[in-house]
Amino acid sequence: MGCREGEGGVITQRVSTGIEGLDEVLQGGFPKGSMILLGGNPGTGKTIFSAEFLYHGARDFFENGLYVSFSEGRDAFIANMSSLGLDFEKLEREGKFKILDLVTVKEAGLDTLMEMMTSDIDTLGVERLVIDSFTAMANAFAKPIDVRIALHLLSKIVRQSGCTTIVITEIPTGEQRIGLGIEEFVSDGIIVLEKRWVEGRLLRELVVEKMRGTRMARTRFLFTLHNGFKVFQPFKAGRVEEPRRFQPIPHTEERFSTGSEELDEIIGGLPRGSAVLIEFGTEISREASMLFSVPIMANFGTQGMAMIILPCSGFNAETIYEIAKEFQLTEEEINDLLRVIERPRPYLKRDVDYVFVPKGQDIREVYEGIARLRQELRERTGKPVLGFIGLDTAGIVLGEESLRNILDQIVTDTRIEGGLIVFVSKPGVEGIAQYVANMADIHVRVVCENGVILFYGVRPRTSLYVAEMDCSKGYPMPKFTPIL
Ligand SMILES: Nc1ncnc2c1ncn2[C@@H]1O[C@H](COP(=O)(O)OP(=O)(O)O)[C@@H](O)[C@H]1O
Ligand SMILES: [Mg+2]
């Protein structure tokens, strides 16, 4: 709870929404005593949103709650919410929460209903009220009621009681708007929950259409219902407080590890001898893209395995050296195991082993030079070699036509040698990326939506995951949360 300056200098006291990640974007929470309309198609998370609002209000902020239910009976509500870790029975016993189960009460008139609510609000000292849903309430009466009158009556109760109130409105599937026509005038805030599909995968969005006295830089936010209602903030690169050496994840007989246990779990590891394509969409920052490529490299390097890298644009031998140092590979490991392919540059450091400048007149000779390097590394380490190719750079250096010609060879050689080849594509090389996608055993995509980084597997097919940066291990790692 906190006090903030609202529009026109009016002081608005805020109450926490109880939703992870939402208070931050609402200048502290809902205006205290406000009436919020919460709309959405069936299954968009309205009940879960309201339950968290009541639960955290009662448990963490000493604001007792009343849940007026027309759509879900008491037992179903308690059971569903306990599966999300919200123990409403305990709150009931402690006198902090009450369910007014009106699912079967259809004979009562509007006046009787309003009296029941007011009485409960007074008896329990309720400060948070949820009507689930206004739509079901309007349909509950034997005698048809005017929704306008009902909404005005509700808003009167809200003003008199001072309760911060969520009024749920069911939006029929296929429609977008709340559509009462009067909601703008009686409500202090309107939030709509939406479902959307990205390449056939479920994405959830929360839209703040109106919030009295609240300045908002952005009004659309991605969220998940995984382990409760959580709103995602735009991707932020974290800072490593205490740098530590990368902790390798052992490979298995059949599969290499990605370097991230979570990612291994999601895509099932990387089969030995396979080709991998990581496709990045637009607006993916450098830090975000590194979360997917660097752990694979660090996991090979820290297990004495060599790698040959043709970096993406924006990276070169020096930057990759710096990254290897951040993950605390030793100077010796770097010079033994790392080979970054560079074009001849006049200012190139010649005295380091990790820069490899291929010699040769044509693409064949260049490729044979790299194949010999791979063989030398494999024999010296006694382990398979990781190949890493930025398709943007490769396309520019070799030309798309020559690149296509050697891609099959690279993939075939990798299969025979039981190594791993990772291709990375960025916007602008879709043609060649499609060519590689057809050959790849593993194909994943990283895209940006509302500033949030989303990850999904095309092969194997996975649902959407939000990727965030986790620095708690002493180096940057991806952290994945499924959109459910
Ligand atoms: N324990 C749970 N964990 C994760 N998601 C859940 C859980 N229970 C229900 N859901 C998801 O929540 C959705 C329903 O949320 P709900 O708040 O009841 O929607 P609404 O009230 O808008 O119809 C379902 O689509 C389901 O996918
Ligand atoms: Mg519901």
Whose Cα sits closest to atom 27 in ligand 1?
484
Q: What does the pLDDT average to over 123-146?
A: 87
| Cβ proximity of 31 and 10 under 8 Å | no
Inside any domain, residue 245:
no
Whose Cα sits closest to atom 10 in ligand 1?
225
Q: Give the domain range for residue 315.
A: 255-482
Residues 46 and 195 in one domain: yes
Query: How many independent structural domains does the chain possess?
Result: 2
Mean model confidence pLDDT for the chain: 92
Residues 303 and 223 in one domain: no
Q: What is the pLDDT of residue 402?
A: 85
Distance of CA 291 to the CA centre of its chain: 14
Q: What is the pLDDT of residue 5?
A: 45
Residues 210 and 346 in one domain: no
Ligand nearest to the CA of 484: 1
Distance of CA 14 to the CA centre of its chain: 27
Percent of the chain topping pLDDT 90: 79
Ligand 1 contacts CB of residue 384 (under 6 A) = no
Rounded Cα distance, 449 and 196, in Å: 12
Mutate to test the pocket of ligand 1, among 225, 463, 464, 481 (most ligand atoms within 8 A of CB): 225
Ligand 1 contacts CB of residue 284 (under 6 A) = no
Asked whether the predicted pLDDT for residue 358 surpasses 80, the reply is yes
Inside any domain, residue 326:
yes
CATH of the domain at 14: 3.40.50.300
User: Cis bond leading into 119, ω under 30°?
Assistant: no
> Residue 110's pLDDT band (boundaries 50, 70, 90)?
confident
Find the 180 Cα to ligand 2 centroid distance in Å.
Answer: 18
Residues 100 and 205 in one domain: yes
The domain boundary, picked from 189, 216, 231, lies at 231
Asked whether the predicted pLDDT for residue 183 surpasses 80, the reply is no
Residues 305 and 367 in one domain: yes
Ligand 1 atom closest to Cα of residue 51: 17
Centre a 10 Å sphere on the Cβ of residue 382 and count the other Cβ atoms it contains: 8
**CB-hemisphere CA count at 13 Å for 121?**
22
Q: Which comes out higher in pLDDT, residue 202 or 353?
A: 202
**What are the pLDDT digits (tens) for 225-268?**
999 999 999 999 999 999 999 999 999 999 999 999 999 999 99
**pTM listed for this prediction:** 0.94
Residues 109 and 190 in one domain: yes
Whose Cα sits closest to atom 5 in ligand 1?
225
Percent of the chain topping pLDDT 70: 95
Ligand 1 atom closest to Cα of residue 193: 22
Residues 183 and 311 in one domain: no
DSSP sequence for 151-195: HHHHHHHHHHH--EEEEEEEPPTT--S---S-HHHH-SEEEEEEE
Residues 212 and 281 in one domain: no
Q: Which comes out higher in pLDDT, residue 405 or 351?
A: 405
Identity (one letter) of the amino acid at 310? L
Residues 182 and 41 in one domain: yes
Inside any domain, residue 341:
yes
Find the 45 Cα to ligand 1 centroid distance in Å.
Answer: 5
Find the 192 Cα to ligand 2 centroid distance in Å.
Answer: 13
292 CB contacts (<8 Å, ≥6 apart)? 263, 278, 444, 446, 455, 467, 478
Ligand 1 contacts CB of residue 76 (under 6 A) = no
**CB-hemisphere CA count at 13 Å for 282?**
3
Ligand 1 atom closest to Cα of residue 50: 17
Q: What does the pLDDT average to over 112-117?
A: 89
Choose among 292, 327, 328: nearest CA to 312. 292
Ligand 1 contacts CB of residue 172 (under 6 A) = no
Residues 362 and 327 in one domain: yes
Q: What is the pLDDT of residue 111?
A: 84
Centre a 10 Å sphere on the Cβ of residue 460 and count the other Cβ atoms it contains: 12
Rounded Cα distance, 269 and 247, in Å: 17
Find the 226 Cα to ligand 1 centroid distance in Å.
Answer: 9
Strands in 11-15's sheet, in edge-to-edge order, are 2-5, 11-15, 30-31
Q: Classify residue 404 as exposed, middle or buried by CB count within 10 Å of its CB (0-12, 13-18, 19+).
A: middle
> Residue 455's pLDDT band (boundaries 50, 70, 90)?
very high
Q: What is the pLDDT of residue 364?
A: 86
Mutate to test the pocket of ligand 1, among 37, 48, 78, 204 (most ligand atoms within 8 A of CB): 48
Find the 162 Cα to ligand 2 centroid distance in Å.
Answer: 24
**What are the pLDDT digits (tens) for 463-474?**
999 999 999 999
Find the 118 Cα to ligand 2 centroid distance in Å.
Answer: 23
Ligand 1 contacts CB of residue 65 (under 6 A) = no
Ligand 1 contacts CB of residue 98 (under 6 A) = no
Ligand nearest to the CA of 72: 2
Residues 8 and 93 in one domain: yes
Inside any domain, residue 360:
yes
Ligand nearest to the CA of 171: 1
Whose Cα sits closest to atom 12 in ligand 1?
45
Inside any domain, residue 99:
yes
Inside any domain, residue 276:
yes
Inside any domain, residue 399:
yes
Residues 279 and 157 in one domain: no
Inside any domain, residue 179:
yes
Find the 228 Cα to ligand 1 centroid distance in Å.
Answer: 9
